[in-house]
């Protein structure tokens, strides 16, 4: 009887290669020199038989291999450490260089920068990204969050169609390139967050059903539901935990952003997220540096970020779309789709002071009540990651247009000030800091024509349901869709972009250097506003962030020693006069 913990992820010798396949009647190990019939134990693990293992006790490092299940074609190992020939090719045993020593840093309140390796630079690799890290240091960023870098099919993609949960996407630079990237970040004092997807697998290269019951009969929006609680789910859960720990231990990452955890269907008494948080805490103790888990969830359930002793799942943070929606709708005026409930100043005040807008209230988009209040006296505001935009809020618009395409610079500055000077943990999306004009569109490069057609047609049908013209939706398979999404690094040198970049730097500097603005408690926030006059103010201790969201000048009854502003303003007695779409930040007199 054996389990995943008894079979090392990195086999020392070829004889140590093993695979879990409880439903298989036969599994053969294919090597470049021979084929070996494996033996099955009582728990469904297949290993090299003892009578032939002596001749295979040679170092496994560099060896390429595959498994044939029930006389089928050879396919990659579900725990492939490297897939040098892509997700359909043979696996390779590979140990990347050990990450350099690093003390780590806590994530609470630090500024996160989300980027996509393939579009962050024209080179589209880890090494090319390293060349731009000093820009992030100068900006004041604390953590770099990379969109998924595990192995997926094709050259270019967002990464959420990954199928190799233990391998690094080769076109980015593979496992060795990723270690170089992590070390380069750490050398500059930047932590690294890996976007990890455990709620589904991509449509191409997913061979898990060949080996065992990794999935249930159900499905979510992206694929078959992972088997977390049904028969034989112990090994499936161990598979997820081992993948998560690999990013943190073997590659030196500091945190994981867990994609769409609401799609993890788990009815066990100990939820997979709690199990994962316990194991990550143990690894943190072992390594002697902070490690964090950040959830993406649309449940508005504070149990995710409530400690174990308080009955929660013990995660360190979660993305909070409600803050994004409240700020975006108040500034932009958009009300389509899930924005319908947002947009009022009352809504904006509620999220800045309490985190969730839907905290047991009726959601017209869902047509039901949704969420639960955050216990603001027990949970710090910094456990919520907030943003003016992210890859979803740009890339899942029909044409992938950034806010720069439909908002003026004053509106962009207002959004930035409310996010970066809030008590939450702020996150930027690549290029936002200089008001980049390049879109971030949804792109794929599936080699299979039928899969490319399905993605193309499905994307257009989805947006047609929401009233977009289908001819406006970019073809995800068109290489130009990818190329349009690559950042233009000449933009920051242009006067209008350089001014926005300086404004972002100043906001982040204020956040770092002013204690009132780095206070991570909900109670550190109060607000005042005038809906008719269209001004809104967020107060943090002695500091105020005063915004004119309207299209006409306003007088705000606040005496403010302005330290930073975007747009025209002046003070007359006890009134702060603001031009349209202006934000002024300073200490109250």
Residue 296 annotated as catalytic? yes
Angle at 64 between CA 62 and CA 67, to 5 degrees: 145
Residue 298, annotated as binding a ligand: no
Catalytic residue among 145, 170, 266, 296: 296
Catalytic residue among 259, 266, 390, 432: 259
Angle in degrees, 0-180, between the axes of helices 409-420 and 321-332, rounded to the nearest 10: 150
Residue 395, annotated as binding a ligand: yes
Residue 115, annotated as binding a ligand: no
Beta bridge partners of 27: 69
- Please give the sequence-ordered ranges of beta strands (E in DSSP) within 38-155, or none if there are none: 39-40, 45-47, 64-69, 91-92, 112-115, 143-146, 150-152
Residue 401, annotated as binding a ligand: no
Residue 516, annotated as binding a ligand: no
Residue 261, annotated as binding a ligand: yes
Task: Judge contact between 251 and 179, C-beta under 8 A.
Answer: yes
CA 74, CA 411: separation in Å to the nearest integer?
56
Q: What share of the chain is helix, strand, coil (3-state, %, to 5)?
A: 35, 20, 45
Task: Judge contact between 578 and 551, C-beta under 8 A.
Answer: no
CA 158, CA 156: separation in Å to the nearest integer?
7
Residue 186, annotated as binding a ligand: no
- Radius of gyration of the chain from Cα atoms? 25
Residue 260, annotated as binding a ligand: yes
Instruction: Write the DSSP assignment of 361-392 as a string of letters.
Output: EEETTTTEEE-----TTTS-GGGEEEES--HH
Instruction: Write the DSSP assignment of 188-213 as a string of letters.
Output: TT-EEEEEE--S---SSS--HHHHS-
CA 502, CA 518: separation in Å to the nearest integer?
20
Residue 195 annotated as catalytic? no
Residue 394, annotated as binding a ligand: yes
Tokens 């606040």, located at residue: 558
User: What SS3 class is residue 442?
Assistant: coil
CA 475, CA 416: separation in Å to the nearest integer?
31
Residue 483, annotated as binding a ligand: no
Q: How far is CA 146 from CA 230, 395, 421, in A?
A: 32, 15, 23
Q: Which residue in 82, 77, 79, 76 sits closest to 94, CA to CA?
A: 82
CA 310, CA 137: separation in Å to the nearest integer?
37
Residue 564, annotated as binding a ligand: no
Maximum CA extent, the chain: 92
Q: How far is CA 389 from CA 310, 431, 546, in A?
A: 32, 11, 21
Residue 257, annotated as binding a ligand: yes
Residue 325, annotated as binding a ligand: yes
Catalytic residues: 259, 296
Residues annotated in a binding site: 257-262, 321-325, 391-396
Residues annotated in a binding site for substrate: 257-262, 321-325, 391-396
């Amino acid at each position: 009887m054996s389990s995943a913990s008894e079979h090392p992820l990195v086999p020392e010798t070829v004889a140590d290669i093993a695979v879990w396949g409880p439903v298989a009647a036969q599994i053969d190990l294919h090597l470049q020199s021979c084929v070996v019939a494996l033996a099955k134990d009582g728990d469904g693990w297949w290993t090299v038989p003892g009578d032939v293992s002596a001749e295979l006790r040679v170092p496994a490092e560099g060896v390429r291999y595959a498994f044939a299940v029930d006389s089928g074609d050879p396919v990659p190992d579900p725990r492939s450490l490297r897939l040098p020939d892509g997700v359909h090719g043979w696996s390779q045993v590979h140990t990347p260089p050990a990450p350099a020593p690093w003390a780590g840093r806590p994530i609470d309140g630090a500024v996160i920068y989300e980027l996509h390796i393939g579009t962050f630079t024209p080179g589209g690799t880890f090494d090319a990204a390293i060349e731009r890290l000093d820009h992030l240091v100068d900006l004041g960023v604390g953590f770099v969050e990379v969109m998924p870098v595990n192995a997926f099919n094709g050259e270019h993609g967002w990464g959420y169609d990954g199928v190799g949960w233990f391998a690094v996407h080769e076109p980015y630079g593979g496992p060795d390139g990723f270690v170089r990237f992590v070390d380069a970040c750490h050398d500059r004092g930047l932590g690294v967050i890996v976007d990890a997807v455990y709620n589904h697998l991509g449509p191409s290269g997913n061979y898990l059903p060949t080996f065992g019951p990794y999935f249930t009969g159900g499905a979510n929006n992206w694929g078959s539901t992972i088997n977390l609680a049904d028969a034989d789910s112990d090994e499936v859960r161990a598979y997820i935990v081992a993948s998560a720990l690999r990013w943190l231990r073997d590659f030196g990452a500091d945190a994981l952003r867990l994609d769409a955890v609401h799609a993890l269907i788990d009815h066990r008494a100990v939820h997979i997220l709690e199990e994962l948080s316990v194991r990550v805490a143990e690894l943190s103790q072992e390594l002697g540096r902070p490690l964090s888990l950040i959830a993406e969830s649309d449940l508005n359930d504070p149990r995710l970020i409530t400690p174990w002793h308080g009955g929660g799942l013990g995660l360190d943070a979660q993305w909070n779309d409600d803050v994004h929606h409240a700020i975006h709708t108040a500034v932009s005026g958009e009300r389509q789709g899930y924005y319908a409930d947002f947009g009022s100043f009352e809504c904006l005040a509620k999220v800045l002071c309490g985190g969730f807008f839907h905290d047991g209230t009726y959601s017209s988009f869902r047509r039901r009540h949704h969420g639960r209040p955050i216990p603001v006296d027990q949970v710090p505001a910094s456990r919520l990651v907030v943003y003016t935009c992210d890859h979803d809020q740009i890339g899942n618009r029909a044409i992938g247009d950034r806010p720069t395409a439909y908002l003026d610079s004053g509106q962009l500055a207002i959004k930035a000030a409310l996010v970066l000077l809030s008590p939450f943990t702020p996150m930027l999306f690549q290029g936002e800091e200089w008001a980049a004009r390049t879109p971030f569109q949804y792109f794929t490069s599936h080699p299979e024509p039928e899969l490319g057609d399905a993605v193309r047609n499905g994307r257009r049908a989805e947006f047609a349901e929401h009233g977009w013209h289908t001819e406006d939706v970019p073809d995800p398979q068109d290489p130009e869709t990818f190329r349009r999404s690559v950042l233009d690094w000449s933009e920051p040198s242009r006067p209008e972009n350089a001014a926005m970049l300086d404004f972002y730097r100043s906001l982040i500097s204020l956040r770092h250097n002013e204690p009132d603005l780095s206070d991570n408690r909900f109670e550190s926030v109060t607000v005042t506003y005038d809906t008719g006059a269209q001004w809104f103010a967020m107060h943090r201790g002695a500091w105020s962030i005063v915004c004119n969201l309207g299209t006409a000048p306003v007088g705000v009854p606040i005496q403010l020693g302005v330290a930073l502003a975007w747009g025209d303003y002046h003070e007359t007695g006890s009134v702060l006069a603001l031009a349209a779409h202006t934000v002024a930040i300073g200490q109250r007199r």
